[in-house]
Amino acid sequence: MPSLPITTSSKSKSISSFNNISTTRRNPQLHLDLSAPIFTPSSTNYLSTTSPVNHFRLRSPSPSKDDSDELLPTPNSLALPSPSNPFAYEFTPSPIESPLIAGYSNHRVRKWIRRRMMKRNFQPTPLGYGILLILTITILYTFNSSSNDERSRIPSGWRSKTSSLEEIPYQDSANIVEELDEELEIDQPTLPSLPSIYSNYFPSLSLPSTFLSNPEYYKLAIKLNDFLHRPILNHEEAKEKNYNGCPRELSDKLVNPDQYNGDAQFWIETVDQQEIVKRRYDIVRWITERIEKGEKVIGKKDGLTGKGRGIVLTGGNQDTTLRTITAIKHLRRLKVTLPIEVFHYSDELTDGNQRNEIEALGATLREAKGLEKVEGVWKNWQIKGLALVQSSFREILYLDSDNVPLRSPVHLFDSPVYKDNGRAVFWPDLSKDHPDNAIWRIVGDECSLDLWTFESGQIIIDKSGNNGLNLVSLIIASGMMNERDFWFKMCGGDKDTFRWAFRILDNDFGISPRWMSALGIKNGYEGDRFCGHSVLQYDLDTPQGFTRPPPLFVHSNLLKHLGSSGLGKGSLFTQIRRMSNDYTHNPSLNYAHSWVYIGEARGMCLDLDWHNHTPDEIKTNEWPETIGVYEEEGGVFDGFEDSWFDEGGRIGGW
């Protein structure tokens, strides 16, 4: 959560400086005044027992009807396939009857039909027998080993909290089908010419020949060609549909006001059709340049783009290094044995003692190649994307240096949310994108309030997921971070570059089922007002003995700005502020307001409440609640704070 809205008095430096600037704006009306609700100390302490089922994100509709994983377009359907809905096309018309595939050879039509039927019904073809043979061998091997370790086949996310959460090897039928699908040869696609508006960047109105010279890139070529054919609109042309999808009465309150007040004029006036064309070309260029350098851009299971599972952190300056050491110590105390890589810039982590301490904890130091720090900026977040690309691991759990789990997170690799949704999962942040944000037009989407922006303090991803295109999405996100002067104006820092990189290729991904909460203290200097200093993120699944996914990650992104007077072991992680029904798909959360304010003697504090004008029927059935950490079911916070301080955790820093 790199860019946070701050609500404070007129004496606040950030607000006063904006007021001075606003008088010279060409569009002074591009300003949102989202004052925080007036605080009234109360003893409200409700505890919700609502436990709806988990909800996973399906792909949003694409303007193109092409299924980029197939040879031919799927007729008469805008719905895109998802691993969680394999029968999405069960009752669509035969492709032979569709005018959309006129011009395709009968051979390709027959091949397309065979491929679809094989994936869906496993007809007894020679390839089908091969699949059955592999499945039979796997089942026999599994049952044969059951007498030795019956527990090892149970996904760790389903065990009680007293169970060991060691890494568990697995192989499921979905992986087998995906591997066979990758091995299927496809004909070189015949792609339609690009719109003439691209002629300055693609003179032949086609993708660079690199993408069609090697069958390995055919699927990627189809995806990129589809992306370049999405609508190219200026703000006025897109405004009506975007405002319909994201009504201003909601989106004005859900957007990060600092981002809107700072960047709305840029979105509307600078990002025109020619700018969109250039930025889309840049995305293709980033990938082309890597291919021409001989780099692998398609994620593989053979180890060429990463082997095994591991954890990646980034750190390097004095404070982030100390936090990184604390995070690694904490992981090892939780008996996490996965290998760890710590990425840093070339001029960082030069202290020999710190390097030795990190390596003594079993972590490997890695210098990010091809990237340098940008001078004069608040944070150099751009290292994150490159660290994921350059990591030696294929499956990665990324953690910010100030993010520590409450228990071993290894079981996330076995979660259905991960395995069934492109093998990539992200967690929600506190705001949603505004319909004026030019990112909707750059990626060719219409505004939707379905998703929160991403909070990238934790990411779980397999580079080979989505038929290897997860790695391409990481390369795109890394390119956005490297050209931060433009893309960070759309994405609020590094966090949403991942979201839009996945959307550009229309890759599936999963979302944590519960919305973030705030973790902090009661501020005795301000009538016991809640002051959140950490974002609390939740597990992907509901373990045995729990009623819903419990807290898993404590991301203390404001703790470095907190006034420490009177705080210490036993008084720092004491209160949770959350919505009673905090499942991310709950539409009532569009009326929730999470913001940062300046707390008396505490500095930056996170709070949560309803927006003004929230319908009474919503407030009657749902509410914001503050509970003590000891009230959280399962005792997930037991021993956490003492261990955190013992491992070097501290208040303050930068």
Query: What is the structure's pLDDT at 113?
Result: 46
> Average pLDDT in the 182-197 region?
84
Q: Which residue has the higher pLDDT, 342 or 175?
A: 342
Q: What average pLDDT score do residues 601-606 get? A: 95
Instruction: Specify the residue for token string 């909460």.
Output: 517
456: its two tokens: 């990238």
| pLDDT-above-70 percentage for the chain | 72
Report, as an integer, the average pLDDT of 345-359.
Answer: 91
The pLDDT tens digits of the residues spanning 3-32 come to 444 443 333 433 344 344 444 445 555 666
User: Where are the chain's structural domains?
Assistant: 6-55+514-646
Mean pLDDT score, 95-117? 44
Q: Which of 96-110, 148-162, 500-514, 591-605 has the lowest mean pLDDT?
A: 148-162
DSSP 8-state secondary structure symbol assigned to residue 404: E
Whether 92 and 80 have beta carbons less than 8 Å apart is answered as no
Does residue 545 carry a pLDDT above 80?
Answer: yes
* CB distance 302 to 394 below 8 Å: no
Count of residues for the chain?
A: 654
Q: Quick: pLDDT tens for 120-139.
A: 444 556 676 677 777 777 77
Question: Which is more confidently placed, 51 or 472?
Answer: 472
Of 454 and 25, the one with more pLDDT: 454
- Structure confidence at residue 434 as a pLDDT band (50, 70, 90): very high
- For residue 33, the model assigns a pLDDT of 57
The three-class DSSP label of residue 7 is: strand
294-315 pLDDT, tens digit each: 999 999 999 999 999 999 999 8
Task: Answer for the pair 466, 422: CB distance below 8 angstroms, yes or no.
Answer: yes
Strands 340-344, 424-426: pairing is unpaired
Band (pLDDT 50/70/90 cuts) for residue 319 is: confident
Tokens of 154: 């149970």
Q: Are 182 and 468 in contact (CB under 8 A)?
A: yes
CA distance 395 to 634: 29
| Mean pLDDT, range 260-267, rounded to an integer | 95
The long-range contacts involving 520-523, CB below 8 angstroms and separated by at least 24 positions, are 520/573, 520/574, 520/575, 520/577, 520/605, 520/606, 521/567, 521/571, 521/572, 521/574, 521/575, 522/574, 522/575, 523/599, 523/600, 523/601, 523/602, 523/605
Residues 504, 271 contacting (CB under 8 angstroms): no
For the chain, give the mean pLDDT: 80
Q: Are strands 624-628 and 575-579 parallel, antiparallel or unpaired?
A: antiparallel
pLDDT greater at residue 47 or residue 335: 335
Per-residue pLDDT band at 84 (split at 50, 70, 90): very low
Q: Specify whether the CB–CB gap between 554 and 406 falls below 8 A.
A: yes
Contact, 368 vs 383, CB < 8 A? yes
- Report the amino acid identity of residue 223: K
Question: What confidence tier does 624 reach under pLDDT thresholds 50, 70, 90?
Answer: very high
Instruction: Flag the least confident range among 102-111, 214-223, 485-494, 509-518.
Output: 102-111
* pLDDT grade for 145, boundaries at 50, 70 and 90: very low
Pick from 158-172, 218-232, 388-402, 536-550: least confident: 158-172
Instruction: Say how far apart CA 569 and CA 567 lie, in whole Å.
Output: 7
Distance CA 488, CA 459 (A): 19
Distance from CA of residue 461 to its chain's centroid? 9
pLDDT digits 0-9 by tens, 546-564: 999 999 999 999 998 999 9
Question: In the structure, what pLDDT confidence band is assigned to residue 505 with cuts at 50, 70 and 90?
Answer: very high
